Structure 1
Amino acid sequence: MNNLAKKYRNVQHSTTDKGGVLLLLHDGILRELRKAQEAFSEPHGGELSLLKAQMGVVELDRTLNFEAGPELADSLHNLYLHMLWVMSEALEKRDALGLAPVIKMLGELREAWSVACTETRQAKRAV
């Protein structure tokens, strides 16, 4: 990534609300998962991308607020653990298709968060 793109991304991250940062994190994880899928055909290909995706999922897990919504946080925690396990299995077997369920789940979560963020922003504007 060139220097200008890095600067833009840093500004984007520093000026985005919490919901926007969450969406950016989902986007980054999905991007790395797709890169890993494509690179699995090469020897040792995709390992770095998959590691980045796993680190992103760990970060999602770290942001869970068990006090604000214990049931939701517990469900998401278990889902994130499952995703990490599936990613590890896919890496061990070098199975690009094995990442498809994680990509699907994360895409659906990202869409749900996007809707929630939009509704929250609209509610704040209405006040």
Structure 2
Amino acid sequence: MINLPYQKYQQTQLQTAPPAQLLLMLYDGAIRFVRIGISGIEEQDYEKANTYLCKAQAVIHELIAALNYDYPIAKTLHRVYEYMVYQLIQANMKKSTVPAKEILSHLQELREAWDTASKSLNNAEQNNE
């Protein structure tokens, strides 16, 4: 049972968001978790780093689960996502920010690309109405 108003708002937002918005929300979460994981490594707070790098991995696994293999790009994205998970594991094991920062950059680029594609699709749909 959800008691806090903000939690109710978040749940409603998730349940009513269009698929493109949900995808962007996943990217936002992964980006946030990687950033916190990097700060954990930098602060030598390895419990924090582990927690948040693992959360980022879980979000990337959700991105993998959301792939639609009817489109050829899905196979490529699957490989990219698997690489991201591998690099986050390496960052966590070696307590190195280098692989995590690389993945942060990739996540930001992909998020921007999906945002642009979503806006283009929305504009095209509006022009057809």
In the alignment, structure 2 segments of 5+ residues that lack a partner are none
What TM-score, normalized by structure 1, do the two folds share?
0.91
Deviation at 1:10, TM superposition (A): 1.5
> Which residue of structure 2 aligns with residue 109 of structure 1?
110
Trace 1:44-83 onto structure 2 (pairs within 5 A).
44-67=47-70, 69-70=71-72, 72-83=73-84
Q: What is the identity, as a one-letter code, of the residue corresponding to 1:61?
A: I
Q: Partner letter of residue 108 of structure 1? A: E
Contact map agreement 2:46 2:95 (CA 8 A) in 1: no
Aligned to 1:84: 85
1:97 paired residue number: 98
* Cα pair 2:14 2:22 within 8 Å, conserved: yes
Tell me how far 1:5 sits from its aligned partner: 2.5
The CA deviation string for residues 93-122 of structure 1, in whole angstroms up to 9 with x for no partner, is 011232011000010000000001111111
Return the TM-score normalized by structure 2: 0.89
Aligned residues: 124
The one-letter amino acid of 1:5's match is Y
Q: Which moved more, 1:92-101 or 1:76-85?
A: 92-101
Task: Name structure 1 gaps, 5 residues minimum.
Answer: none
How far residue 21 of structure 1 moved from its aligned partner, in angstroms, is: 0.3
- Secondary structure at the aligned position of 1:45 is classed as helix
Percent of aligned positions with the same letter in both sequences?
A: 30
Q: CA deviation at 1:51?
A: 1.1
The residue identity in structure 2 corresponding to 1:15 is T
State the Cα distance separating 1:80 from its structure 2 match: 0.6
Deviations 1:14-69 (A, max 9, x none): 221100000000000100111111112114222111111101101111111112x1
Question: Relative to structure 1, is the Cα distance of residues 43 and 111 closer, same or farther in structure 2, using a 3 angstrom cutoff?
Answer: closer
Per the alignment, in what secondary structure is the counterpart of residue 64 of structure 1? coil
